[in-house]
Amino acid sequence: MFALRRNSIVTIQRIFPIAAAVRYGSSTTATGAYGTHNTPVASNETLSREDNKLLDQVIRVDHAGELGANRIYKGQHFILRVTNPRVAPTIQHMWDQEKYHLSIFNKYCTEHNVRPTVLRPLWDVAGFALGVGSALLGTRAAMACTEAVETVIGDHYNNQIRETAHLEDKHPEFSKLREKLAELRDDELGHLNAAVDDWEAQKAPAHGLFTNAIKLGCKTAIWLCKRF
Q: How confident is the model at residue 175 (pLDDT cuts 50, 70, 90)?
A: confident
Query: Could you give the residue range(s) of every CATH 1.20.1260 domain in the chain?
Result: 49-227
Q: Is 98 annotated as a binding residue?
A: yes
Which residues 6+ apart lie within 8 Å of 77 measured at CB?
88, 91, 92, 95, 131
Whole-number pLDDT of residue 169: 79
Q: Is 191 annotated as a binding residue?
A: yes
Q: Is 163 annotated as a binding residue?
A: no
Helical packing angle, 17-24 and 2-15, nearest 10°: 140
Q: How confident is the model at residue 166 (pLDDT cuts 50, 70, 90)?
A: confident
Q: Is 150 annotated as a binding residue?
A: yes
Render pLDDT for 131-146 as a digit per residue (tens, 0 to 9).
Answer: 999 999 999 999 999 9
CA separation for the pair 141, 75 (Å, rounded)? 13
**Count helices and strands in the chain by DSSP H and E runs:** 8, 2
Residue with the larger pLDDT of the pair 46 and 38: 46
Q: Is 188 annotated as a binding residue?
A: yes
Residue with the larger pLDDT of the pair 55 and 20: 55
Render pLDDT for 5-14 as a digit per residue (tens, 0 to 9).
Answer: 444 434 434 4
Q: Is 200 annotated as a binding residue?
A: no
Contact 135, 76 (CB under 8 A): yes
- Domain 49-227 class? mainly alpha
Average pLDDT over residues 156-175: 86
Whole-number pLDDT of residue 79: 98
Whole-number pLDDT of residue 49: 84
The residues facing 225 across adjacent strands are none
Whole-number pLDDT of residue 43: 27
DSSP secondary structure, 131-166, as one string: HHHHHHT-HHHHHHHHHHHHHHHHHHHHHHHHHTGG
Report CA-CA distances (Å) from 85 to 49, 134, 143, 205.
Answer: 50, 16, 14, 21
Report CA-CA distances (Å) from 129 to 16, 21, 126, 206, 221.
Answer: 36, 42, 5, 19, 15
Whole-number pLDDT of residue 150: 97
